Amino acid sequence: MVLPALLIILVVAFFPVVSSIWLSLHQATVTNTGAFVGLENYVEMFQNDDFVEGLSNTVIFTVVSVGLEFVIGLAIALAINRAFRGRGLVRAAVLVPWAFPTVISAVMWRLMFQDQVGIINYVANALGIISQPILSDRTLLLIAAILVDVWKTTPFMALLLLAGLQVIPGDVYEAAKVDGANVLQRFFSITLPLLKPAILVAVLFRTLDAYRVYDLFWAMSNRELESLSTFVYKAVRVSQLLFAQGNAAAVFVFVTSFLIALLFIKGFGMQTSAGD
């Protein structure tokens, strides 16, 4: 009974990966596999400025946004981990940014960053924070993209951490209080260790998600901000002269994502047992 679901996944996802690897070792085009060239596509890919820029943007974006999301998300989760009036409203507000399509969020924020009608551009200008239109500068665009990502997914991070917090039994804290542990001691020796599984799951999910960033960069920067995924998309779909290099980049994303997951599982001792 599991077979149909498994077959679909195998045929549509795993088979193409093998195919991607195969294509990346050839001088491939959309219509034909071409001559075997070994790792040449990978060498050329690393010499391609767009790829290098995409890689560096992706790494900066992932590290900074996931870092911020974790710290802010944890603070929010700790704050709302109690019964209070208006809890439903807060939960709904948390979910609204999460539920939006990323491209639509990007379009909405692009309107607010825009230099003629954008409220953020207006305020930042009035306060003297920026001296040029946000959308015309790549560094500002990257900062803006991080800001949008933090806005969109911090609540989700908070939600996952909150679910983890609610599993921690209250009497552990009572016992620690009796033993005279202060707030900070309780946080570092009870909350953090017991929350570790939830933290690892949430951070791994978010890291792999941020690492694949595509929609946000594509729609917000009007195709100007490069990421690994936009590089693959452009090479494979827009300028098909780069088809082989695009495949190499796709395999690169696949392998590095796998390594990131492995790092979390082995390095941080994450549990992957699929229940019983």
Interface residues for other proteins in 29-88 (CB under 8 A)? 30, 76, 79-80, 84, 86, 88
Site membership for other proteins, residue 173 (CB under 8 A): no
- Kindly state the smallest distance separating residue 100's Cβ from other proteins, in Å: 5
Q: Which of 23, 74, 146, 203 binds other proteins (CB under 8 A)?
A: 23
Q: Are 222 and 109 in contact (CB under 8 A)?
A: no
Residues paired with residue 149 on neighbouring β-strands, in sequence order: none
Separation CA 203–CA 264 (nearest Å): 9
Q: Which of 17, 43, 71, 241 binds other proteins (CB under 8 A)?
A: 17
- Report the nearest approach of other proteins to the CB of residue 185 (Å): 20
Minimal distance, residue 170 CB to other proteins, in Å? 19
- Residues of 122-150 as b/e, b for ≥16 C-beta within 10 angstroms? eebbeeeebeeebbeeeebbbbbbbebbb
Cβ closest to other proteins, residue 36 vs residue 175: 36
Tell me the C-alpha distance between 201 and 223, whole Å.
Answer: 31
**Which of the residues 126 through 155 are near other proteins (CB under 8 A)?**
126, 151, 155
DSSP state of 189: I
Q: Which stretch binds other proteins (CB under 8 A): 127-135, 168-176, 181-189, 252-260?
A: 252-260
Question: With contact defined as beta carbons under 8 Å apart, do 150 and 216 qualify?
Answer: no
* Residue recorded with tokens 């996802």: 13
**In whole angstroms, how close is the CB of 149 to other proteins at the nearest point?**
13
For residue 228, the one-letter residue type is: L
* Residues 210-249: x where in contact with other proteins by CB under 8 A, - otherwise, as a string: -xx-xx--xx--x-----xx--xx--xx-----x--xx--
- The reply to whether 269 sits near other proteins by the rule CB under 8 A is no
User: Should residue 94 be labelled a site residue for other proteins when binding is judged by CB under 8 A?
Assistant: yes
List binders of other proteins among 178-197 (CB under 8 A).
none
Measured distance CA(23)–CA(232) in Å, rounded: 13
- Let me know: does 43 contact 247? Beta carbons within 8 Å: no
Distance CA 58, CA 227 (A): 5
Residue 129, Cα to own-chain centre: how many angstroms? 27
90 binds other proteins (CB under 8 A): yes
Figure out which of the listed residues 107, 172, 192, 259 binds other proteins, where binding follows CB under 8 A. 107
